[in-house]
C-alpha cells in the first residue's frame, strides 16, 4: 500500500504540537493495521518546498535538519513534478477548483497510484473523486 503525505501531514508529523503529531501517527498506524503489506511512504517534490519555507524564514536550523532528513530518507518515495503530474493537476484544478498546490499534491498520488491513501489535514481534498483521503483530525 502506498501512503502519500501532503505538506500539512508532514508538518504535523515533524513540527506539530504533541496532539497533532499523535493524531498524524494514529492515522498512519490505522493505515498500516488495515493493510497486508508494509506501507510505502510517498511525498511530492512540492512538499519539500512547502515544508521548508517557515524554517528558512525563521532560521530554524533544527527544523530544517528534521525536514531534510525526512525528505532524504531512502525509505521515502518522492514524486517528481513531471508532465504527467502537471497535466493531471491542471485537470483537477479546472474541474474541482482546487488551489494549484493542492491540485499538484492530489495529482501526484493519482498519477502514481490511484488506489493509494492520501493523508492530509486539509478538507478540500475530499471533493476529488477517486482520491482516498485520510484526514488528520486537528
The annotated binding site for Mg(2+) is made up of 6, 102
Residue 117 three-state SS: strand
Q: Which residues are annotated as a binding site?
A: 6, 102
DSSP-H helix ranges across the chain: 7-15, 18-33, 45-57, 61-72, 83-96, 100-112
Per-residue exposure over 81-109, b if at least 16 CB sit within 10 Å of its own CB, e if not: eeeebeebbeebbeebebeebbbbbbbbb
Amino acid at each position: 500500500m502506498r501512503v502519500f503525505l501532503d505538506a500539512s501531514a508532514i508538518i504535523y508529523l515533524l513540527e506539530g504540537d504533541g496532539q497533532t503529531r499523535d493524531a498524524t501517527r494514529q492515522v498512519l498506524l490505522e493505515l498500516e493495521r488495515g493493510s497486508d503489506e508494509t506501507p510505502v511512504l510517498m511525498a511530492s517534490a512540492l512538499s519539500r518546498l512547502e515544508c521548508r519555507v517557515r524554517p528558512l524564514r525563521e532560521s530554524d536550523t533544527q527544523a530544517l535538519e528534521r525536514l531534510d532528513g525526512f525528505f532524504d530518507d531512502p525509505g521515502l518515495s518522492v514524486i517528481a513534478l513531471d508532465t504527467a503530474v502537471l497535466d493531471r493537476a491542471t485537470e483537477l484544478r479546472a474541474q474541482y477548483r482546487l488551489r494549484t498546490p493542492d491540485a499538484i499534491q492530489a495529482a501526484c498520488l493519482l498519477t502514481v497510484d490511484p488506489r493509494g491513501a492520501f493523508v492530509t489535514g486539509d478538507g478540500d481534498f475530499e471533493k476529488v473523486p477517486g482520491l482516498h483521503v485520510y484526514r488528520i483530525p486537528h
